[in-house]
Amino acid sequence: MNRRKFVSSMLALPAMPLLLQSCEWGDVSFDFPINVHSDRNRGHAIFKQKNLPVKDTIQVETLIVGGGIAGLSAANHLPHKDFLLCELSDRLGGTSAATNHKDLPLSQGAHYDLEYPQNYGESVLGLLDHLGIIEQMTWKSSWGFKDQQYIIPHEIKNQCYDHGKFRGDVLREGEMKSAFQQLLLPYLDKMVMPTRLIEEKYKHLNDQTFIDFLHQNMKVDDQFIRGLDYHMLDDWGGLSSQVSALAGIHYFQCRPYYREVNQLFSPPQGNDYFVSKLASQVPSEQLQVNSLVRSLEKKEGSWNAEVLDLQSSSISKIKAKNVIYAGQKHALKYILPQYYPLFSENDYAPWLVMNFVLNKPFGEFGFWQNEMIVEDISFLGFINSSAQHRGLQEKQVLTAYYCLPSDSRKDLASISMNKNTIVQKTLNYLKGYFNQGIENRVEAVYLNAMGHAMPIPKPGFLFQDKNEQVKNEQLAFAGVDHHRLPLLFEAIDSGIAAVEAIYRTSKVK
Ligand SMILES: Cc1cc2nc3c(=O)[nH]c(=O)nc-3n(C[C@H](O)[C@H](O)[C@H](O)COP(=O)(O)OP(=O)(O)OC[C@H]3O[C@@H](n4cnc5c(N)ncnc54)[C@H](O)[C@@H]3O)c2cc1C
């Protein structure tokens, strides 16, 4: 590796913006390839010239915009098979997608799920059961996963690295943690999923921030808040001063974490496992990738959509009776502007995921989640594939995560230009963790940049079903940015609920 002008003590650099605006650090180069995936330019093709050739005209009963978990779940739940799902990316899955390095699967977004208590919503449990993913566990009141080979053993689930020292949990043991657990205890079993099933009497927790809730009820110091912020960024994309008290409490109390061992399910391809299962149940020709829905208009009782084929730069005109909009809602501004105000308050966290493929695995380092507390609050540590495969492998994958502040989104545009310095900065963090440089083990690196990755559940975000407001339009919204917590279960439920809203059935439970 050549490191001209490289600033060696990157650990001293301040936090987030430097990650993306690091060109002034000088040249860094590596002798392994760094591949970048970003759908930014694909999304921006919405502004491409208007008079492109028309490829075909298609009539379907239902058009689904977006092939993430929500759109695919809607496709699975439709009462008919006369639909077309359009996804702008070159792959399905959205923030739960994966890629490959040769035969090795690499998770590039969501990477795990946990067993489901029985008081969770029946509709999602029913779909997961139907897909052959889960089964009732006879020895406890939960639904567990059938593919037991992907359960991460409890002893190697996680460890926390905090400025050079290791411990078991991000929140330090002590009086403050005990008081915190005590404070949250009454909410155990009450923080169900999907969140739309949460009882009325807890909804006031959606009106204040998590940190305000804590300040009102207990003493918290900066170190404790730093730990909480780690957790909130990791799952909700915002700090404890940004997310609602409901989101914060939900994180800790949606399962009996402190009472029981909860099965943690994490296949090597991450939640793309669920994407593949959902996609396998519907005809593949009805799931179209490279297809950007760039406009929607209702005329004479039908929806007219223009879909840009990003490979041939031509247009398909689609006429549909119903539209399920499961794409991110910020783009409604251009696609369906009259409904953008319904979502104008949404704030999204950008994320950067980095897979390091190592051709010389570390033998004894095997914790699955390696939470890292460093001075850059946006860096969240890494997942270690050796805990997923178990046993010695020829290759090992370390998947590192950054949850960025929303105002750094524009800087993701220069990700390809800055990829070397971003990788270098991350390698430096990993060097701190392993207490040795790891670049001589790296065979390839894959980056995935996602600009509108996670809707931040700020106060007021949850419990707003916008489908009530569009119910006469044969239109329904799905996706976690339709006022859900950014979780697999919520995404699936939102897809199911969108279908139920269109067909005016009330089976959704
Ligand atoms: C880094 C990261 C890690 C995560 N980890 C976990 C985890 O471990 N467990 C968990 O439960 N959850 C996790 N989440 C959250 C989880 O990924 C999401 O809740 C879920 O996948 C969201 O699915 P969705 O369908 O609502 O949205 P998305 O995944 O955002 O899907 C929307 C899709 O619509 C497409 N689209 C948008 N506009 C258009 C258009 N005009 N035309 C065509 N297509 C369009 C997009 O390209 C995208 O594919 C994570 C999220 C991130 C970002």
Phi, psi for 170 (deg, rounded to 5): -60, -45
**497 belongs to a structural domain:** yes
- On whether both 175 and 259 belong to a single domain, the answer is yes
**508 belongs to a structural domain:** no
- On whether both 438 and 390 belong to a single domain, the answer is yes
Express each pLDDT in 34-54 by its tens digit: 999 999 999 999 987 778 999
pLDDT value at 507 more than 90: no
Out of 15-19, 233-237, 301-305, 403-407, pick the least confident: 15-19
Q: What is the pLDDT of residue 7?
A: 33
End of a domain among 265, 295, 326?
265
- On whether both 259 and 394 belong to a single domain, the answer is no
Ligand 1 and 358: CB distance under 6 A: no
Average pLDDT over residues 383-391: 85
Q: What is the pLDDT of residue 18?
A: 53
pLDDT band at 236 (very low <50, low <70, confident <90, very high): very high
Out of 244-248, 270-274, 364-368, 435-439, pick the least confident: 364-368
Distance (angstroms) between ligand 1 centre and the Cα of 158 equals 24
Average pLDDT over residues 316-331: 98
CATH code, domain carrying 188: 1.10.405.10
The pick from 87, 96, 277, 452 for probing ligand 1's pocket by mutation, whose C-beta has the most ligand atoms within 8 angstroms, reads 96
Q: What is the pLDDT of residue 28?
A: 86
- On whether both 195 and 292 belong to a single domain, the answer is no
Q: What is the pLDDT of residue 20?
A: 64
Strand pairing class (379-384; 369-373): antiparallel
The continuous run of DSSP H or E covering 135 comes out as strand 134-137
Ligand 1 and 457: CB distance under 6 A: no
Q: Give the total number of structural domains in the chain.
A: 3
Phi, psi for 474 (deg, rounded to 5): 50, 40
CA 354/CA 401 separation, integer angstroms: 6
188 closest CA partner among 253, 99, 105, 242: 253
- On whether both 478 and 492 belong to a single domain, the answer is yes
- On whether both 335 and 431 belong to a single domain, the answer is no
Express each pLDDT in 327-344 by its tens digit: 999 999 999 999 999 999
End of a domain among 455, 474, 490?
455
**103 belongs to a structural domain:** no
Phi, psi for 388 (deg, rounded to 5): -85, -40
Nearest CA to ligand 1 atom 41: 293
Ligand 1 and 66: CB distance under 6 A: yes
Average pLDDT, the chain: 93
Considering the chain, what percentage of its residues have pLDDT values greater than 70? 93
Express each pLDDT in 393-412 by its tens digit: 789 999 999 999 999 999 99
**101 belongs to a structural domain:** no
The continuous run of DSSP H or E covering 370 comes out as strand 369-373
Express each pLDDT in 408-460 by its tens digit: 999 999 999 999 999 999 999 999 999 999 999 999 999 999 999 999 999 99
CATH code, domain carrying 361: 3.90.660.20
- On whether both 324 and 472 belong to a single domain, the answer is yes
Q: What is the pLDDT of residue 390?
A: 66
pLDDT value at 392 more than 90: no
Q: What is the pLDDT of residue 26?
A: 58
Distance (angstroms) between ligand 1 centre and the Cα of 69 equals 7
Q: What is the pLDDT of residue 509?
A: 61
Out of 6-20, 243-257, 453-467, pick the least confident: 6-20
In DSSP terms, which residues pair with 35 in a beta bridge? 446
- On whether both 326 and 366 belong to a single domain, the answer is no
**425 belongs to a structural domain:** yes
Nearest CA to ligand 1 atom 48: 94
Out of 184-198, 310-324, 358-372, pick the least confident: 358-372
End of a domain among 240, 265, 290?
265
- 175-183 long-range contacts, Cβ below 8 Å, gap at least 24? 176/218, 176/219, 176/220, 176/221, 176/224, 177/224, 179/218, 179/219, 180/214, 180/218, 180/220, 180/224, 181/252, 181/258, 183/214, 183/217, 183/218
- On whether both 207 and 325 belong to a single domain, the answer is no
- On whether both 175 and 59 belong to a single domain, the answer is no
- On whether both 241 and 277 belong to a single domain, the answer is no
Q: What is the pLDDT of residue 259?
A: 87
**507 belongs to a structural domain:** no
Residues in the chain: 509
CA 456/CA 453 separation, integer angstroms: 10
Cα angle 16, 91, 272 (rounded to 5 degrees) comes to 75
Average pLDDT over residues 148-173: 96
CATH code, domain carrying 492: 3.50.50.60
**107 belongs to a structural domain:** no
**176 belongs to a structural domain:** yes
Q: What is the pLDDT of residue 276?
A: 98
Range with top average pLDDT, 13-22, 387-396, 442-451: 442-451
Task: Note down the domain range covering 203.
Answer: 113-151+153-265
- On whether both 425 and 365 belong to a single domain, the answer is yes
SS3 content of the chain, % helix, strand, coil (to 5): 35, 25, 40
pTM for the model: 0.95
